[in-house]
Structure 1
Amino acid sequence: MNNRKAQYNFCILFSLFFGSAFFCSATPVNDIHQIQVVTEPLPPYQIVKDGEVRGVVAEKVRKLLRELGSDSQIRAMPWARAYKTALTEPGTLIFSMVRTPAREELFHWLGVLVSTKTYLVTLKRRDNIKLEKLEELINYKAGIKRDDVVFHYLSKKKALGKTALLPDTITTVKMLLRDRVDIIAVSPLHLDYMCSKIGCKSSDFQFLLELDGLSNDFYLAANKQMTPELVNLITDKLKGLTN
């Protein structure tokens, strides 16, 4: 922070000597080049193939980085690690993040990348599973992604009983298909994509309840220590991609 202040003061003095044609940027170029971007494998939004993060949302973020003039690479990792990295390491961007009251003050929220819905889902052949209200989930074994927004939401609602905490969404689907869990949380788009990969069909499942208490928007968010100038720059560039 002291170095940045010194650079800014130097710019002001330089401008006084050489005239107003000299432009001092409030956002040092170094800030842009020090950005790191983290995410998780979340098909079809983020797909890791041959070591590269692809998918519709990843491509949007990559285009944003080009607009910023940043050569930062997108790194995919388990969600809990990505979340901790974005929470603790300055200069970090993270996607796709659901915005919740518990997270509101922990990050800068730069803009919506995509919208979706999340449902509690079971197998259609499991006709013994009935779920008319959220509180009844406690009677079943749920497969939930560790540190996911669904986990925090259901925990706060005290709706989790016996729970399998799993590393990613595709593992929850596999566990459901093997009858290792009774219910999972997933969006229809995710489910269709994962079935195309592991050989199931969307008709194999039944949607029990929509988790309408969760945000339907997936955000690009930033570490809280990111400078206001860089936050504003990224926010403006992202708006330009969506307008």
Structure 2
Amino acid sequence: MERLIYFFLSVYIFIGDAYGQSESLRVIGVDEPPASYLADNGQAEGYVVDIVKALLAELNISTKIQISPEARVLNIAKNNANILLFSFSRTAFREHSFHWIGKVLTKKWQAFTTIDNTLEINSLQDLRQISNIGVVRGDVREEWLINRGFNNLYSVTYPAQNVRLLAKKRLPVIVYEQQGLSYICRQLGIENEFKSIFTVHQADVYLLMSKRTSPEVVANVTKAFYRLKQSGKLREISENWYSKLALLYPNMHVIEEDFISF
């Protein structure tokens, strides 16, 4: 009888541990439409959000997907295990601070100004001469520019704040990407009267996990991601979003290696 009780108790503990692991996985994305954003109903939506949902389904995990400012997401990831983050550009500075799960898109970082501005930028040195450059606090573009000695950055919490400031000509330049800028203009109900005057950098963007996460959990999530890629599910999601975005923003993106390039 004691053996039988021990057997059922062991099964209960094993199931409880497995359940606890799935429940303890926290999934947090940054506000960067159309890859990830909060819809009017308060739910996370977007191109990369759909990839994350497919990944969670592959892992048989049910958990809420959160959207938070980038600086807050990075701080949470720094201090906790089992944090799945998206979408973050992979840079040499960040390489050893996270576990990199898989690439989900490519972005061109561009310097934007208003269409009536005659400003010309031909190099990073030219960009250093600008009075203020709008960036998002904690964002990789802010980090990348700081690491290259820029001290003329104006940092805000959300990308839409910079777009409003640029539209009101309270900032001469912001660094962002074309697809996201067009999406925010549409959300704000303003005309996209901006132009790109310089390509700052091109970056691959990834799903990643916090450094404190165990190698076993990282391996399981990585394997699930590549099963989605091999099955064609990631390509399917990319083609679906490509079709949606092409109706609103034609000629702004392509599909490369199963992922959208903005």
State TM-score, norm by structure 2: 0.77
Aligned-pair CA distance for 1:223: 1.0
CA distance in 1, matches of 2:148, 2:197: 17
**Match of 1:9?**
none
Aligned length: 217
SS in 2 for 1:117: strand
Partner AA of 2:190 in structure 1: C
Aligned-pair CA distance for 1:74: 0.8
Partner AA of 2:211 in structure 1: K
CA contact (8 A) 1:44 1:55 kept: yes
Of 200, 205, 219, which aligns to 2:194?
A: 205
- Report Cα offsets for 1:46-75 as digits up to 9, x if no partner: 120212101111111011111111111111
**Match of 1:34?**
24
CA contact (8 A) 2:90 2:206 kept: yes
Of 158, 165, 187, which aligns to 1:168?
A: 158
CA distance in 1, matches of 2:102, 2:78: 17
Partner AA of 1:183 in structure 2: V
Aligned-pair CA distance for 1:111: 0.5
Partner AA of 1:184 in structure 2: I
**Match of 1:69?**
60
CA contact (8 A) 1:144 1:164 kept: yes
In structure 2, list runs of 5 or more residues that go unmatched.
Answer: 1-9, 231-262
SS in 2 for 1:105: helix
CA distance in 2, matches of 1:225, 1:89: 6
**Match of 1:5?**
none
Partner AA of 1:170 in structure 2: A
Of 94, 110, 115, which aligns to 2:106?
A: 115
CA distance in 2, matches of 1:160, 1:135: 12
Aligned-pair CA distance for 1:108: 0.4
**Match of 1:223?**
210
State TM-score, norm by structure 1: 0.83
Aligned-pair CA distance for 1:33: 2.7
Aligned-pair CA distance for 1:28: 4.7
- Report Cα offsets for 1:80-113 as digits up to 9, x if no partner: 1011111211111110011111111111000012
**Match of 2:224?**
237
Aligned-pair CA distance for 1:198: 2.0
Aligned-pair CA distance for 1:29: 5.1
1:106 aligns with 2:97: yes
Of 108, 124, 134, which aligns to 1:134?
A: 124
In structure 1, list runs of 5 or more residues that go unmatched.
Answer: 1-13, 15-23
Of 167, 171, 177, which aligns to 1:177?
A: 167
CA contact (8 A) 1:38 1:86 kept: no
Aligned-pair CA distance for 1:211: 1.8
**Match of 2:80?**
89
CA contact (8 A) 1:134 1:159 kept: no
Runs of 4+ residues deviating >6 angstroms: none
CA distance in 2, matches of 1:88, 1:68: 24
CA distance in 2, matches of 1:187, 1:39: 17
